[in-house]
Structure 1
Amino acid sequence: MTPAARVQTAIEILDAIAAAAREGGAPADAIFAEAMRARRYAGSKDRRAIRGHVYDAIRLVRSAPVSGRAAMLALAEVQSELAPLFDGSAYGPAPIAPGEARAETGLAAPALLDLFDPLVGESEHDAMLARAPLDLRANRINAARDDLAALFPEGEAISGAPDGWRLPAETAAVQHPAYAEGRFEVQDAASQYASAALDAAPGQAIVDLCAGGGGKTLAIASLTGNAADILACDTNRARLQQLAPRAERAGVTRIATRLLNPGQEGAMLADWQGRADRVFVDAPCSGSGTWRRSPELRWRLTPARLDRHLADQAKLLDIGADLVAPDGKLLYAVCSIIAREGRAQVDDFLNRNPGWTADTGYLPVGLGRTAGAGFLLTPAHDRCDGFFLARLTSPC
């Protein structure tokens, strides 16, 4: 492909990504992969170049653009080598017209910035869109961080995460035989901190209420040495089905799964009411803390979608609370930097559940900042995804 054809292809892919963002369609990675399958003539250099154009534009443009062309024109203003490629050639984009509109750039639209937790100032903005490193978590059942250091000497230890090892972005770690052997998982440092904050111990009964594909479930199993009984739940069958093969690879044998019907979660967990020592509520959210990895999430968030997340979070907190044994603990976590999903959500829970208390001091020293009754992790301050955590203790 010519350089101009690569730009035109990026424009077409950006059109599809912007439309999916507005309509709640497939994520950007899936759209890109499908576009490349439809263009099998594109070589590896073509794919890398096109992907670079697409994601550079997504990171630059603050909200879903009116067109992929408007996004690429904005990118051409900061990457001057792109402008001459709008040359009107056979497979390239049309020449740039005088005064042609460019997409607006920046971290996010002002209305979205206003929702950020007060701790998230402008000093965080660049880090929130910087490319994230690849973080690994050693599986304690059959490995240790020192093993990862030997396997990947180009990495570094993750501060505050005793099993964590950090590698440069795009490292092909999962292609290493040690991954197939279950010696490590790919997991951002923030998720490792959250899993450890649950304070799980061998012999406990634990519920992961929103387990998804089981990343944090497996981390909890690792931290307890495969010696705790864990129930992993979710309403998404496809995601929950990913857990069994992952657990087998990791050598984890004490995880049970339960598919829940939306709206019937409480009834379907009646046998667990009041008996869980620990409950993890990793609730669905805006994902605003993960923009480093999925920058198009900025294009997807609308007031209506946020309201749905807030309602789901409140419901899941109440369901999780009903499962906790007296003096047990519930960890609420969202990969969000929006105050209404974090500190405000927990304040509301404590107000409607007298007797529950918020714990303190469960993060390693120097990590996170106090945000109401919980803690906020942010990319610039903590070198990890944005996460809000609150650990709550039930009345005796």
Structure 2
Amino acid sequence: MTPAARAEAAIELLDAIIAAAREGGAAADTLIARYFRTRRYAGSKDRRAVRDLVFRAIRRAGERPVSGRAALLGLAEDAPELRALFDGSAHGPAPLEVDEPVATAGIASLWLLERFDPALQREELGALLDRAPLDLRVNRLKGTRAEAVAAFPEARETPHAPLGLRLPEGAQVEQSEVWTSGLVEVQDEGSQLLALGCSARPGATIVDLCAGAGGKTLALAADMTDQGRIVASDTDRARLARMAPRLDRAGVSIIEARLLDPNREAEALADLAGASDLVLVDAPCSGTGTWRRNPEARWRLTPERLARFVKLQSHLLDVAVELVAPDGHLVYAVCSLLGEEGREQAAAFEARHSAFVRETVPITAGTAAGPGRLLSPARDGTDGFFIARWRRAC
């Protein structure tokens, strides 16, 4: 592909990504993979170059652009060599027109910027659009961090998580023997710290209320040395189904997957009412803490969608309350840095449930944020998370 053809391919992909963001369609990574499956003529260098253009344009534009062309023209404002490709050459972008729309640079929409937790400085928000590192969690059921380092000599230990490793971009993890054997899992250091903050112990009964594909569930099981019981529940059948092969690879036997019906979660979990030593509510949220991985998520979020997330989080916390045993614990987390999903949600929970006593989240990373702690890319080098922890006093 010529440089102009790469630019045109990036425009086509950006158009698809913008439409998906508007209509609730597939993520950028998925759309890029689909695009190149039907274009076998594009070599590996072409694919990398186009992908780089696409994500640079996405990261630059805080507001959802009107078109892929506008998004790439925005990127070209600081890259004359890219702007020169809009010359109408074969397979390239059409020539520039007078007063064409150009995407404006920014972090996010103004309405959204105003909702970030006050513990964050505005200048920190730019780190949300950096490229995310590749982190691994060492599975203590299968071996040690030293054994994993031997397999990845280029890795370095994560600064906060005691079983984490950070690899250079592009490392081939899933082709390695240590991954197929279950010694390592791909998991951001922030997620590892969330699991650590649960203080899971062998023999405990735990409910992971929003388990998804089970990444944090696996970390809890390893901390429990695969002794006890974990009920991993979710309302998403497809995500929950992806857990089974991960359990086999990790050597975990104590996890029971349980599919829930939305708004009828208590019925499906009635056997655990008042009997759980720990309930983890890693709730669905805006995902503002994961923009390093999914920068186009900024274009999907609206005030109405955020309000629905906040309502669901409150509902799930109220479901969790009924499951916690006396002297048991409840941990709430969101991969969000917005105040209303984090500290405000936690404060509202405390106002509704006086039997739950606030506890310190037992991790050293993060910043105090009302009832919990806030992890951020700028300060901690992790995905963004809010984490709070309570004990049921009676």
TM range (shorter): over 0.9
- Separation (CA, whole Å) in 2 of partners of 1:30 and 1:142: 32
Rate the CA distance shift 1:247–1:361 in 2: closer, same or farther, 3 A: closer
Mapping for residues 33-182 of structure 1, pairs under 5 Å: 33-182=33-182
- Separation (CA, whole Å) in 1 of partners of 2:127 and 2:289: 11
**Secondary structure at the residue paired with 2:84?**
helix
- Separation (CA, whole Å) in 2 of partners of 1:144 and 1:11: 46
CA deviations over 1:326-360 (Å, ceiling 9, x no partner): 01001100000000000000111110111211101
- Separation (CA, whole Å) in 2 of partners of 1:381 and 1:134: 17
- Separation (CA, whole Å) in 1 of partners of 2:121 and 2:107: 12
> 1:298 maps to what in 2?
298
Mean alpha-carbon deviation: is it higher for 149-158 or for 233-242? 149-158
Mean alpha-carbon deviation: is it higher for 163-172 or for 309-318? 163-172
1:143–1:184 CA contact under 8 A, matched in 2: no
Q: Which TM-score applies when normalising by structure 2? A: 0.98
The Cα of 1:38 is off from its aligned counterpart by: 2.1
The Cα of 1:148 is off from its aligned counterpart by: 1.8
**Secondary structure at the residue paired with 1:10?**
helix
**Secondary structure at the residue paired with 1:174?**
coil
1:226–1:254 CA contact under 8 A, matched in 2: yes
Query: Aligned partner of 1:389: which letter?
Result: I
Q: Count residues in correspondence.
A: 394
CA deviations over 1:281-314 (Å, ceiling 9, x no partner): 0000000000001100111100111011011100
**Secondary structure at the residue paired with 2:326?**
strand
> 1:343 maps to what in 2?
343
**Secondary structure at the residue paired with 2:295?**
coil
CA deviations over 1:211-232 (Å, ceiling 9, x no partner): 0000000000111111121110
Query: Aligned partner of 1:22: which letter?
Result: R
Query: Aligned partner of 2:14: which letter?
Result: L
Query: Aligned partner of 1:373: which letter?
Result: P
**Secondary structure at the residue paired with 1:354?**
coil
The Cα of 1:202 is off from its aligned counterpart by: 0.2
> 1:373 maps to what in 2?
371
Query: Aligned partner of 1:90: which letter?
Result: A
> 1:390 maps to what in 2?
388
**Secondary structure at the residue paired with 2:77?**
helix
Rate the CA distance shift 1:361–1:23 in 2: closer, same or farther, 3 A: closer
**Secondary structure at the residue paired with 1:389?**
strand
**Secondary structure at the residue paired with 1:348?**
helix
1:334–1:388 CA contact under 8 A, matched in 2: yes
Query: Aligned partner of 1:253: which letter?
Result: S
Query: Aligned partner of 2:55: which letter?
Result: Y
**Secondary structure at the residue paired with 2:58?**
helix
2:10–2:50 CA contact under 8 A, matched in 1: yes
Query: Aligned partner of 1:370: which letter?
Result: A
Query: Aligned partner of 2:190: which letter?
Result: A
> 1:25 maps to what in 2?
25
The Cα of 1:169 is off from its aligned counterpart by: 2.2
Query: Aligned partner of 1:341: which letter?
Result: E
1:358–1:391 CA contact under 8 A, matched in 2: yes
Mean alpha-carbon deviation: is it higher for 155-164 or for 215-224? 155-164
Q: Given the alignment of the two structures, is residue 310 of structure 1 paired with residue 318 of structure 2, yes or no?
A: no
CA deviations over 1:42-96 (Å, ceiling 9, x no partner): 1111111110110010011112110000000001112222111111012100122
**Secondary structure at the residue paired with 1:296?**
helix
- Separation (CA, whole Å) in 2 of partners of 1:262 and 1:338: 24
2:288–2:338 CA contact under 8 A, matched in 1: yes
User: Post-superposition, which runs of at least 4 consecutive aligned residues in structure 1 deviate over 4 A?
Assistant: none
The Cα of 1:122 is off from its aligned counterpart by: 2.5
> 1:283 maps to what in 2?
283
**Secondary structure at the residue paired with 1:9?**
helix
- Separation (CA, whole Å) in 2 of partners of 1:206 and 1:310: 24
Structure 2: stretches of 5+ with no match in the other structure: none
Mean alpha-carbon deviation: is it higher for 1-10 or for 93-102? 93-102
- Separation (CA, whole Å) in 2 of partners of 1:375 and 1:47: 39
**Secondary structure at the residue paired with 1:165?**
strand
> 1:331 maps to what in 2?
331
- Separation (CA, whole Å) in 2 of partners of 1:191 and 1:78: 35
CA deviations over 1:142-187 (Å, ceiling 9, x no partner): 1111112111121211122111011122222121111010010000
1:213–1:239 CA contact under 8 A, matched in 2: yes
Query: Aligned partner of 2:337: which letter?
Result: I
- Separation (CA, whole Å) in 2 of partners of 1:210 and 1:261: 12
The Cα of 1:361 is off from its aligned counterpart by: 4.9
- Separation (CA, whole Å) in 2 of partners of 1:171 and 1:63: 32
**Secondary structure at the residue paired with 1:103?**
coil
Query: Aligned partner of 1:103: which letter?
Result: A
Query: Aligned partner of 1:216: which letter?
Result: K
Mean alpha-carbon deviation: is it higher for 280-289 or for 85-94? 85-94
- Separation (CA, whole Å) in 2 of partners of 1:311 and 1:174: 37
CA deviations over 1:24-49 (Å, ceiling 9, x no partner): 11111111111111212211111111
Q: Which TM-score applies when normalising by structure 1? A: 0.98
**Secondary structure at the residue paired with 1:64?**
coil
CA deviations over 1:344-392 (Å, ceiling 9, x no partner): 001111101112111015112xx11110100000001111000000011
Structure 1: stretches of 5+ with no match in the other structure: none
- Separation (CA, whole Å) in 2 of partners of 1:137 and 1:184: 6
**Secondary structure at the residue paired with 2:135?**
strand
